Amino acid sequence: MAMTSEFNLYSLMQEQALRQPGRLAFAQARQRSKSGRFLYETRSYNQFLGEVDHTAACLRDAGVQRGCKTLMLIRPDLDLPVIVVALFKLGAVPVIIDPAMGLKRLLDCVRKVAPDAMIALPLVHALRPFVGDAFASIRLFVSTGKARLPATRRLLDIRQSKAPIGRAVSTQGSELAAIFFTSGSTGTPKGVEALHSTLGAQIAHFGTMCTGSEQDVELAAFPVATLISPCLGQTSVIPDMGSLHPGRCKPENLVQTIEDFGITSGFASPIVWERLSRHCVATGKQLPGIRRAFSGGAPIPYQMVERLGQVLPRGVMHTPYGATEVTPISTIDAAEIERETARLSAVGYGVCVGRVVPGLEVRIIRTEDHALHRWQDVTELGEGKVGEIVVRGALVSPRYHNDPINTAQTKIEASEADQANGAPRFWHRTGDAGYFDKQGRLWFCGRIKHIVQAHG
């Protein structure tokens, strides 16, 4: 898959839809029957492709063009992958902000990115008169609700257009595809730029991790999974989480959806797996159909791995380690944690996050509290030495959007010799402390900003 020249993520989804038009692409829990069971809305790949194409044409006629930064503040339901892939087709740039970061931080993110358009829930539009200049850059406001609002178009009306489908914009792999805002757990949230080539490389890697039966069905309890799955030809089921905040999800809802669809694979954040595993242990429930489970976000503790081992008797838990700026960096499965690394974690060795994924290079450098502009400024550390984890490769975001200060703080220019040999021209500082063991496995020791230096 050549992604350094002409490439658009839409083409990956289109290829899957043309190859298997009748396969179920998505199912989503929408409401309950009188008996209390969920009723599901479904899309075949052919239907999903048609909906994406039509939405793209209608958004284009509404004024969304190539390069248009489009703020997405909608529910993580079926509309999310439809609209995001439609924006990719147009060469527009979806801006994804986690609403869990709180209103003030969210508005700071909006001001920083200065979007051109916004597709949002009615509640977000209702806040517009009360948030000052946060939305001053936006020229097109679109609501996902039914009510008619001042100076706002309804997505429902836009989709009534009979606009022709049209071809996908011929974007380059090096073009900006999306902007994802980090949680800002250790500071102000930063807008991570993802190129079409970056996202393509990430999807290709997850494709190697998700090889399995044509009948595999994925539980998409992590919003990003709904963007990856259609590019890999998978069936995704979006559960009713019971809350927009993962930490307040209802595990009984997830169990019902897993049983309804015979789910064989699951993608969720650590807090969702935590709540699901505790619920299942407390109720004596097992989920024997799940063969693979993926955790997105932070490394998961051994106690949860052990609990999931009881809940998924035939499944293997994979815990990719990474960040918004580069996902994944490394992976490890539960069997290795249980067999060897858990006992070391228990006595202070850190959390083993496994081996670095193909296509990435990871080094450990001495921790510094100032910018490191060139690799010549770096002190590299050897095996067993704890320092900052730095990484380079195709999966790494090149910069933060409209944020040269944080970009300079976290990027290190590679040596001239490396660049002359065709290596990536920069390293990314993760802000995480870690080290490599004798087996070449990477260990995570926490965020550098959280480390307290002991003297004496």
CB 365 within 8 A of CB 390: yes
User: What pLDDT does residue 416 have?
Assistant: 82
Q: Is the peptide bond before 328 cis (omega within 30 degrees of 0)?
A: yes
β-partners of residue 24 are 44
pTM: 0.92
- Two tokens, residue 82: 């439809």
pLDDT > 70? residue 212: no
pLDDT > 60? residue 213: no
User: What pLDDT does residue 1 have?
Assistant: 43
What digits encode the pLDDT tens for the residues 173-209?
999 999 998 665 556 789 999 999 999 998 988 887 7
Q: Name residue 118's amino acid.
A: M
* Three-state DSSP string of the chain: CCCCCECCCHHHHHHHHHHCCCCEEEEEEEEECCCCCEEEEEEEHHHHHHHHHHHHHHHHHHCCCCCCEEEEECCCCCHHHHHHHHHHHHCCEEEECCHHHCHHHHHHHHHHHCCCEEEECHHHHHHHHHCCCCCCCCCEEEECCCCCCCCCEEHHHHCCCCCCCCCCCCCECCCEEEEEECCCCCCCCCEEEEEHHHHHHHHHHHHHHCCCCCCCEEEECCCCHHHHHHHHCCEEEECCCCCCCHHHCCHHHHHHHHHHHCCCEEEECHHHHHHHHHHHHHHCCCCCCCCEEEECCCCCCHHHHHHHHHHCCCCEEECCEEECCEEEEEECEHHHHHHHHHHHHCCCCCEEEEEECCCEEEEEECCCCCCCCEHHHCCECCCCCCEEEEEEECCECCCECCCHHHHHHHEEECCHHHHHCCCCCEEEEEEEEEEECCCCCEEEEEEHHHCCCCCC
User: What pLDDT does residue 2 have?
Assistant: 44
**Bigger pLDDT: 211 or 316?**
316
- Give the mean model confidence (pLDDT) for residues 358-387: 95
Per cent of the chain over pLDDT 90 is 69
pLDDT > 80? residue 323: yes
pLDDT > 60? residue 283: yes
pLDDT > 70? residue 42: yes
Tokens 């850059």 correspond to 137
Candidate from 127-141, 142-156, 241-255 with smallest mean pLDDT: 241-255
Tell me which architecture the domain covering 348-456 has in CATH: Roll (2.30)
- The CA-based angle 92-105-452, given to 5 degrees, is 120
**Separation in Å, CA 132 to CA 73, 83, 118, 189, 302:** 18, 27, 16, 20, 46
Domain ranges of the chain: 10-195, 210-319, 348-456
Q: Answer whether 10-195 and 210-319 agree in fold.
A: yes
User: What pLDDT does residue 428 have?
Assistant: 97
What digits encode the pLDDT tens for the residues 325-357?
998 899 998 888 888 898 999 899 999 999 999
pLDDT > 70? residue 419: yes
User: What pLDDT does residue 422 have?
Assistant: 77
User: What pLDDT does residue 135 have?
Assistant: 96
User: What pLDDT does residue 184 have?
Assistant: 59
What digits encode the pLDDT tens for the residues 385-396?
999 999 999 999
Taking alpha carbons only, the member of 339, 332, 340, 285 closest to residue 313 is 285
Give me Rg for the CA atoms of the chain: 22
Report the interhelical angle of 225-232 vs 196-209 (nearest 10°).
70
Residue 188: phi, psi to the nearest 5? -65, 135
Does domain 210-319 bear CATH number 3.40.50.2020?
A: no
CATH no., domain 10-195: 3.40.50.980
- Give the mean model confidence (pLDDT) for residues 124-138: 94
Q: What is the mean pLDDT of the chain?
A: 91
d(CA 26, CA 78): 8
Grade residue 215 by pLDDT with cuts at 50, 70 and 90.
confident
User: What pLDDT does residue 375 have?
Assistant: 95
User: What pLDDT does residue 183 have?
Assistant: 65
pLDDT > 80? residue 377: yes
User: What pLDDT does residue 298 have?
Assistant: 66
CB 232 within 8 A of CB 206: yes
